[in-house]
Structures are given as C-alpha cells and as structure tokens.
Amino acid sequence: MIAPNVRRLYEVIAARRSENNVVAASPVCFGARIAQDTLAVPAATVHVQPSLLRSLVDSGRLGRMPMGPGVPRFLKAGVMALLDKYVIDKKLGPPVNSLRGELGLTPVTGLFPSYLHSPQLVLCLFAEWFAAPQPDWPRNVHLTGFVMDESQSTPLRPEVDEFLTSGPVVLFTAGSEAKLDAFLW
C-alpha cells in the first residue's frame, strides 16, 4: 500500500498546496516528505502509536520480539539494520528514490532511520505514560496525549459537531501494525 502511493500523494499535495496549508502525514507517507523537500510544504509527521519511533534505549516490541531496555543495544541495532536493508529499503527505496530523482533530489538510504520523520515537527497522539519519550527519538517530538480520552471527554462544541455532520468524512484508524506482526512471525 505504501510504495504505489508515494507519487500519488506527492501529486495530491502539489496540486493543492498553498501558503496556508500544512500537511500532517503518517510516517510512511513518503510523498509528503518529498513535497516538503521539493515544494517547501510545511509538514508534520503524526504518530498514532509509538511503533515506528525507534530507539536503541527502549522500543518496546517489534512484533513479538522484545526491544526493551533489557535487550542489548547492539542486538536492537542489528535487527533494525537488517530490517532496513532487506525489507524496508528494498521495497520502499525504489519508488521513493525514483520520484526524488525525477525532481532533482539525491537518493535517500536508510528510509526509516534518516527520512521517516519531518525535520519540522513530529506529533505523537499518545500520552507519556503510554510511551515515554526516549533520548534517541527525534528532537522535535511533541506528545499531545490521546486525541480522545474518555475520562476527560466533553460534549463537542456546536461548530465541531456541525463540521462533522456537514458532509466531509473524517477517518481515524488504528493502523496496520497487526499485519506487521503476521509478517514478522
């Protein structure tokens, strides 16, 4: 799903850009990062869960594989390097670098360690108790807390309710992490 949509996402952003637009994109929306690089479109990487925020200190789990503080850093670094080289860069590098080349940009290697996050802003839509910031996360990470915390929910303001019922579709998903688990094991 990611590779075929790199160019398409770039073209959607390019066609709709204006000085008032800011792009908020999933970490794997590489077309948004390319638009940021070539068109100077302000962009934020948005994480709904910490699974793609790698850390050699504490990455929790990778599928069923523990990647916490008890696992030696050299092992975590090795697993991540192998995953990058033989899976991620092999599958996603060609469409990303093909479009980058057409636009006069140099190729990117190590998509996840070097190109996954916006250099402008990384928003994490979860609380610190859920995943504490790690010292090797990008410097521009900001935890917002969960988008909707049921214990603190309040009725929607009338203008928000009107927007949500006026026709546009707003979609939030839990992502495809469950598919990664099946892939790794």
Per-residue pLDDT of the chain (185 residues; tens, 9 = 90+): 888 899 999 999 999 998 888 999 999 999 999 999 999 999 999 999 898 999 999 998 888 889 999 999 999 999 999 999 999 999 999 999 999 999 999 999 999 999 999 999 999 999 999 999 999 999 999 999 887 656 666 777 888 778 777 875 555 555 555 554 444 43
How far apart, in whole angstroms, are the C-alpha atoms of residue 76 and residue 97? 26
- Specify the amino acid at residue 50: P
**Domain count within the chain:** 1
Q: Which domain holds residue 100?
A: 3-184
Look-up of token digits 């908020």? 24
Phi, psi of 105 (to 5 degrees): -100, 155
CATH number at residue 68: 3.40.50
Q: How far is CA 138 from the centre of its chain?
A: 12
Tokens of 37: 């690089």
pTM, 2 dp? 0.78
Tokens of 135: 């010292």
